[in-house]
Amino acid sequence: MALIKNLILILALFAASGVQASSTVFSGAAVTMGANSKVHGDLQAASAVTLGATAVVTGDLAAGAAVTLGATSTVGGSLSAADGGTIGAGSIIGRDLTTGGAVTLGATTTVGENLKAGAAILVGVKSEILGSLTSGAAAAVGLGAGAFVGVDATAGTALTLGAGARVVGNACGTPLALGAGASHGIGINVDCEASQENANSNAIISLQDKKAAGIAQKVALSELQENLAGILSIPANELDATLSGEIELTPGAYHATALTTAAGTTLTFKGDTEIVGPDTWLVNVDTFIAFGANLIMELDSNVKAGSTIIFNAGGYTTIGADSKIIGDILAGSYINTGAGTRLTGINNADNDATCGSMSTISGAVTLGAGNILGTASCLSVTPNFEFVFAAVNVMPAPSGNASDAGAPVDLGRAGDFAILAKTGISRTNAAGTLITGDIGVSPIARTAITGFSDVLDSTNVFSKSIYVVGDIYAADMAPPTPSNMTTVISDMETAYTDAAGRSPTATELGAGEIGGMDLVAGVYKWGTDVSINGSHLTLTGSATDVWIFQISGNFTQASGLQVILGDAAQAKNVFWQVGGVAGVTLDTTASLQGIVLSAKAIVVRTGATVNGRLLSQTAVTLDANVVTEPPAT
């Protein structure tokens, strides 16, 4: 159930993020398509777009900077560019062409509807604009010999019609120059100013809307990538760094630090016959994906319509030549594909073909020559990620129980203490410290407990302090305290070893950043530092569920952030095992739940609170803190 819960959470986060991933290709930077490559569906880029000769985009193309189309290229829908445009000879734009700067059309180019530019327009010989043509407010328009405009032609300054050029509607320009055999209808300079203002205003609004949509998409995809990376995988779904030969993947979440496939690898996605709903595969890779040449992805006969395959790379993704890819690729950096790459989606719930997608957050998309993304009948108008996550609700948990951390860590006699340390416990003079539970040090003497103004009991077995609702123990007090404290410290060290040795149910979650997550019970392991930054951490589960956090590095909780227990979760069943040399730092006014087992120091800064225990194999430092030991039952 752990995986299902996290995926449903991501669905809710996705719905709130407003991702509209309708594009087959989206780039947070530039896009370059090689010669003879083809994208079925829409293409959008935050920067420039370049199409090689005879390249095709069957849907709309939107560029956040300039656009360049090689000779005989085709855009089946509308084309917009925030800057200028250069359209190669013989190219076809199926609908509107709108640019923020100047545009040049090569010979025999066709624009199926209107052409609007923020600067000058130069139309090549025998090119056709089937709608209206409008340049910038202070820019000229030149129509080459035999060029055709199906409605009005409006220039901010001069309008020149080459020999045999024809404007069916009004010709607006000062001066207006007509070559031999050139013609126009209606009249000369009739309502030109109003026509141009209207056209330019509409063009500016259109470009601004598209640029804003691109920026919003980039932000939303970044949030989506972070949320996807937070979906857990069980240890059995940890992929080798290099895959080769024939690999079969059943539905579920998979993880790799980096992923490479050898040339000629086959990945077969095997559908689950035990559930009615669609299947989902998610492959989270912390750094890069490098698919080797001639990679083949295939679906077995049990994969159902509406199923989903997502590759989520924190860095770049490269795809070798002549590979066949299925699904959606999201990369934090760039995507490069070799010549002859093929990408397809999976039929949706209505059994219509979908295109699949390639999306980057900050890097460029570069498609090699002869790439084909999608199929002739595929849909990119249905938002890819939207229907992807509609199917996630019924995704089965992988085999094994990802929420089973086993029994709580046995603290032994260390569980009688709110704070334990081997080299000292110190409190500053700031008011506000209150410890509920016993505190103790060993093998060091009582002098290592500072700032508590404690007073020995008449038996010398323990001492008392106004800051501690409990007793204070040290190794140099009267018997049986020294012997007892030796046992207590030994039990603390045994508990640390137990917590560190549990088998993990998830590894490297969030690359060490777990703020904002809602985690079910389990054993979570990192080989790095772990932090709670930006937002609170929620632990949701029953009164008997157990959470163990195995942290090889340091653990830091940012100022003012909380660990929140959801449903019936109990602080006594949450264990933070920390092995880093800097230990644990709870920043000002942070609020932690659970038992801290630290190999090194625990530093609790001003106003931070702990509902749990602080058990350190070196020292604990407090500053106006409230530490409350959880009830035993």
**Amino acid at site 426:** S
Q: Which two tokens stand for residue 227?
A: 């949320």
What confidence score (pLDDT) does residue 213 get? 59
Q: Residue 380: left if φ>0, alpha if ψ -120 to 50, beta else—which one?
A: alpha
Question: Would you say the pTM of this structure is higher than 0.85?
Answer: no
Q: Which two tokens stand for residue 370?
A: 């002869």
For the residues 477-501, what does the mean pLDDT come to?
A: 97
Q: Is residue 232 part of a domain?
A: no
Q: For residues 613 and 627, give the distance between their C-alpha atoms in angstroms, rounded to a whole number.
A: 7
Sign of CA dihedral 385, 387, 390, 391: negative
Asked whether residue 7 carries a pLDDT value surpassing 90, the answer given is no
Do 496 and 627 sit in the same domain of this protein? Answer: yes
**Amino acid at site 538:** T
**Amino acid at site 340:** G
When pLDDT is cut at 50, 70 and 90, the band that residue 349 belongs to is low
Q: Is residue 211 part of a domain?
A: no
List all residues 6 or more positions away from 417 whose beta carbon is below 8 Å from its beta carbon: 437, 438, 439, 440, 488, 613, 615, 629
What confidence score (pLDDT) does residue 237 get? 87
Q: Is residue 214 part of a domain?
A: no
For the residues 481-504, what does the mean pLDDT come to?
A: 96
Q: What φ, ψ does residue 410 adopt, rounded to 5°?
A: -80, 110
When pLDDT is cut at 50, 70 and 90, the band that residue 325 belongs to is very high
CA 329 to chain centre: 11
Asked whether residue 181 carries a pLDDT value surpassing 80, the answer given is yes
Q: For residues 169 and 149, give the distance between their C-alpha atoms in angstroms, rounded to a whole number.
A: 8
Of 91-105, 320-334, 428-442, 551-565, least confident by mean pLDDT is 428-442
Q: Is residue 125 part of a domain?
A: yes
Do 297 and 443 sit in the same domain of this protein? Answer: no
Asked whether residue 633 carries a pLDDT value surpassing 80, the answer given is no
pLDDT digits (tens, 9 = 90+) for 125-164: 999 999 999 998 889 999 999 999 999 999 989 999 999 9
SS3 for 496? helix
β-sheet bridge partners, residue 456: 463
What confidence score (pLDDT) does residue 274 get? 78
Q: Which two tokens stand for residue 56?
A: 């095709």
SS3 for 77? coil
Do 134 and 181 sit in the same domain of this protein? Answer: yes
Q: Is residue 632 part of a domain?
A: yes
Q: Which domain range does residue 288 map to?
A: 2-19+238-394
Q: For residues 11 and 162, give the distance between their C-alpha atoms in angstroms, rounded to a whole number.
A: 57
Asked whether residue 191 carries a pLDDT value surpassing 60, the answer given is no
Do 386 and 415 sit in the same domain of this protein? Answer: no
Q: What φ, ψ does residue 515 adopt, rounded to 5°?
A: -60, 140
Q: Which of 203, 227, 255 is the last residue of a domain?
A: 203
For the residues 214-218, what does the mean pLDDT come to?
A: 65
DSSP letter string, 322-388: T-EEESEEEESS-EEE-TT-EEE----TTS--B--EEEESSS-EEEPTT-EES-TT-B-SS-HHHHH
What confidence score (pLDDT) does residue 221 get? 77
> Which of 393, 308, 306 has its CA nearest to residue 349?
306
Q: Is residue 25 part of a domain?
A: no
pLDDT digits (tens, 9 = 90+) for 42-83: 999 989 999 999 999 999 999 989 999 999 999 999 999 999
pLDDT digits (tens, 9 = 90+) for 577-626: 999 999 999 999 999 999 999 999 999 999 999 999 999 999 999 999 99
**Amino acid at site 200:** N
What confidence score (pLDDT) does residue 279 get? 86
Number of domains in the chain: 3
Vertex 349, ends 343 and 351: CA angle to 5°? 65
48 or 4, greater pLDDT:
48
Mean confidence (pLDDT) of the chain: 86
Do 545 and 608 sit in the same domain of this protein? Answer: yes
